[in-house]
Amino acid sequence: MPALLSRPDLKEKILAGERITPAEAMELYDAPLPELGALADACRQRIKAEAYGGRGNGIVTYIIDRNINYTNVCNVYCKFCAFYRTERDADHYVLSREELDSKLDELTANDGVQVLLQGGHHPGLGIDFYLEMLLHIREKYPHINIHGFSPPEFNHFAEVFSMPLGEVIARFKDAGLGSIPGGGGEILVDEVRNRIAPLKCNSDQWLEVMRIAHSQGLRSSATMMFGHVESVGDRIEHLSRLRDVQDETGGFTAFICWTYQPENNVLRAEPVGSNEYLRMQALSRIFLDNFDNVQSSWVTQGPKIGQIALKFGANDFGSVMMEENVVTPAGADFRLQKEEIEALITESGYEPHRRNNWYQLLD
C-alpha cells in the first residue's frame, strides 16, 4: 500500500513542518508520485514564504554563469566519467591564460556573474598555478564570483601540495575563491564510492572539506548523482549526512540532484528515468528541511522535466551554463539561453529573476 495512504500521520507531520526520519523517508519513497510532489511543493512554499520580502513563493531564480574546466587531466579514473584524460592522451589540455580570458570575456558580455571553475586531479600542477589563476581572475574580472574546486579536488590539492586541508582552502580564499561547488559528492556512502570511484576521496573527506570551508566563511552547494549502483537507502543516507552538516554549519546554499548519464563511460548501470528523478527531488526537498534552496536539473533531464520539477520542490532553475564539458560527453546535451529559461519559468506561473551565488536577486 502506498506510504501516505497507510500513514496519514506522516503526511500531517510533513505539512506541519516537522522533521522526518530516515526510516520515514524510506516509507515516503513509495508514495504516489503526484502526492509526493504536492508535499514537496508545500515544503517549498513554507521554506520560501519569507524570502524576497515575502514574495518567495512566486519567484523562481536562475544564474548566468559558465563552467570552465581548466584541465581535463585526471588520475582518479571515475567509472561514470567520460570527460577525463591522462597526460598520455593526445587531447589532454591545461587552459592558457588567453583561453581562460576569452571564456571570461564572453561570460562578461552575456551579463554573467559567476564562473564554475573545476578540473581533473592533475598530478603535475603545483599550488602556484592555482593561486595565480585565482588572483588573475579576481583582479581582471572582479564582478565574477569564482565558484570553484570541488571537495575531491581539495583533498587532491592537500596531498599534492603536502599541506593541511584548512591551509589550502584559506590560501585559495585569500587569492579570490568565493564559494565551493558540491561536485564529486555522487553518493556519500563509501561502499558505493568504492565501486564507482575508488580513487576519489571518501565520504568523510568530502564532508570535512565542506565543514572547513563553512568555518572559514565560504558557502557551498551540495549535490547527489544517483541512479547507478546505489540503493534507495544509500540515497537517504547521503541526504541524512548533508542534513547533519547543515545543522552544524548552515553553510550550504542549495541542493542539486541529477541522474547518472550512461554514455561513453565504463560504469555498467541501467539509467533511471524522469519519474525517478522527480521522485528523488521531491523526497530531497521534504527531507532537507534546513536547506533554503533546491535546484532543478534541466541540464540532465531536459527543459520540460526541469519545468515540471518546479512543482516538485525546486525553487531555482539553475544556470544558463554557457559551457558544459562533463555530463555532456556522457549523454546530456541540453542547452538553454536566458530568454528560454525565463519563458519556461513564466509558463509555470512564477516570476523569473536572475540571482547571484548567494541567492540574492540581481533584477
**Residue 93 confidence (pLDDT):** 73
What CATH number should be reported for the domain holding residue 104?
3.20.20.70
- pLDDT greater at residue 270 or residue 172: 172
* pLDDT value at residue 197: 84
The single-letter code of the amino acid at 100 is L
The predicted structure's pLDDT at residue 29:
95
Please report the pLDDT score of residue 323 as a whole number: 62
pLDDT digits (tens, 9 = 90+) for 84-125: 566 566 667 788 899 999 999 999 999 999 999 988 777 778
| Domain assignment of residue 136, yes or no | yes
pTM of structure: 0.91
Residue 81 placed within a domain: yes
4 domain residue, yes or no: no
Alpha helices in the chain (DSSP H): 3-6, 8-15, 22-29, 33-48, 51-54, 97-109, 127-140, 151-161, 165-175, 190-196, 203-215, 232-249, 274-287, 298-301, 303-308, 338-347
The domain containing residue 284 runs over which residues? 21-354
Per the structure, the count of domains in the chain is 1
Alpha-carbon distance of 300 to 332, in angstroms, equals 5
> Which is more confidently placed, 264 or 72?
72
The owner of cell 570551508 is 213
Among the residue ranges 17-21, 155-159, 252-256, 286-290, the one predicted with the least confidence is 155-159
Residue 360 lies in a domain: no
164: its cell numbers: 593541511
In a domain, 68, yes or no: yes
User: 184 near 200, Cβ under 8 Å?
Assistant: yes
53 domain-assigned: yes
Assigned domain for 281 exists: yes
